[in-house]
A = this chain, B = another copy of it.
Amino acid sequence: MSTPNLSSRPALLFDLDGTLVDSVYQNVLAWRQALDIEGIDLSVWRIHRRIGMSGGLFIKALDRELGRNLSHEEAERLRENHAKAYLPLWDQIRPLPGARELLTALTGMRVPWAIATSGSVRTAKGPLALLEIPSDIPVVTRDQVAYAKPNPDLFLAAAQRLGVPPGDCFVVGDSIWDLLAAQRAGSLGIGLLSGGYGSDELVRAGAYRVYEDPADLLAHLDELGIRDAV
């Protein structure tokens, strides 16, 4: 029997916030506070539905709400105030149930995996430390690509770092931005409810499977056709 070709075995590309760490709601309220400081009254659920998308697109969405373009200075101030509001909430943030176990299991099964997040190196540092991500795991952050989600660039770069064609990758994410990016990358999309979206929203954005959280995904890895390396 021939040795299986590792590069054509499926790989998993993970979003970070809401997918592996339970940080979405804190992130949402930090944006709420930053917007409040600028006098922008945006409903919290609308912020929630925009988490995980590119910061540039988020600002464009704000422009529409405001009926005017935010200046570069205003956008910078928003980002700074968000970071300031997020920091004190950080000690509330935990890995999602099963996140560490799932990643360890994949490593044990020799299934390649990587992280691809719309967050910057700075904001991703905390979650990555919580998850105890090994240093040889590819982590693609916002700073490393031209466009964040829903553009496919983050997932394409992660697949490339693993040496696996995007068509052999499963993208695991909690938001429609992950799943739209998965479709554009030509990868199969798997949705997790742990970011607070409803199941139908994820399915409509392209998820062919939806699980509750990483623990639930780990219990159903066989449904993705993932098996131990021979």
Chain A at the B interface: SS class = helix
Interface pick from A137-145, A157-165, A190-198:
A190-198
- How would residues 119 to 162 of chain A score, 1 for a CB under 8 Å from any chain B CB and 0 otherwise? 00000000000000000000000000000000000000000000
Q: Is the CB of B43 within 8 A of A22?
A: yes
What is the CA–CA distance of A208 and B32 in the complex, to the nearest angstrom? 30
Number of identical monomers bound together in the oligomeric complex: 2
Given contacts A25-B32, A198-B199, 9 further A-B contacts (CB under 8 A): A22-B43, A22-B44, A29-B29, A29-B92, A33-B92, A43-B97, A45-B196, A198-B200, A198-B201
What is the CA–CA distance of A197 and B199 in the complex, to the nearest angstrom? 10
Q: Is the CB of A32 within 8 A of B92?
A: yes
Number of interface residues of A (CB under 8 A): 29
9 contacts between A and B (CB under 8 A): A22-B43, A25-B25, A25-B29, A25-B32, A43-B97, A45-B195, A45-B196, A198-B199, A200-B200
What is the CA–CA distance of A220 and B33 in the complex, to the nearest angstrom? 31
Interface: A94 (CB within 8 A): yes
Q: Is the CB of A25 within 8 A of B41?
A: no
